[in-house]
Amino acid sequence: MNRWEHKNIHDMLVGLIGYDFGPTPENCLDEIRHSKKSMADSISRKLKLTERDNVLELGSGCGFLSYWIAQNVKHLHCCDISSSYLDFAKNECRDIGNAEFHHIKPLDLSCIESNSITAIYSLAVFIHLNLFDIYWYFSEFDRVLTKGGRIWFDIANAERLDPNTDKYFMEMARYYKADQSTISGLMQWNSSKAIDQMAKAFNFKIKAFANQSQFILIKR
């Protein structure tokens, strides 16, 4: 069963953003869209995206980021393992002509041509991945990226985790205690040092910032 398939907008939004916008995020869509525009602008600046870029988004979710990013690049490939999220994203981006949507299997970007992508971004996806997942996604990134291609993603940094104060840790821990099968949908804390080692395995140049919780990789 795919943990990321949802039957209604409430569950979809809670799965995407939790309760950061209150108990009924479906009533806050304009506010959510505005916050995602700010994030899209930040990612665009960090990746130095231009109208010449062919971009891949891993984990397009509801398409809130996709809508803004696509307007500033040549082409955007929106990839997600969830068909319900992709359906929402397609509707969200219905007026955008240069966005293409791909329902993928985990760890598999075979729908994307090798050496065809100049930039990749992935928001709040790697926070759910273990190191095996990250290794295989890096392998796919290496395949699809052109030389000099850039990658932006974020992690939950275990080196800066305080279980007593982190607002997500105990919530995730309680879910896990109640049902260990939920592990694939829970946050996974990773080490920035381990990310560095994974990047080196594929000869990516790496830059860490924002308390070593966000990264840019460049294909050498």
Give the helix, strand, coil percentages of the chain, each rounded to 5. 45, 20, 35
**pLDDT greater than 90 at residue 167:** no
Total-model pTM: 0.95
For residues 91 and 122, the answer to whether their CB atoms sit within 8 Å is no
What pLDDT score does 208 carry?
85
Give the per-residue pLDDT at 1. Answer: 57
Spatial contact of 131 and 198, defined as CB atoms under 8 Å apart: yes
Give the model's confidence band at 14: pLDDT under 50 very low, under 70 low, under 90 confident, else very high: very high
Tell how far CA 104 is from the center of its chain.
14
CB-neighbour burial class of residue 167 (10 A; exposed 0-12, middle 13-18, buried 19+): exposed
Please state which CATH number belongs to domain 32-219.
3.40.50.150
Tell me if 99 sits within 8 A of 78, measured CB to CB.
yes
The full set of domain ranges for the chain reads: 32-219
Q: What is the DSSP string of 181-206?
A: GGGGGS--EE-HHHHHHHHHHTTEEE
> Tens digits of per-residue pLDDT, 28-77?
999 999 999 999 999 999 999 999 999 999 999 999 999 999 999 999 99
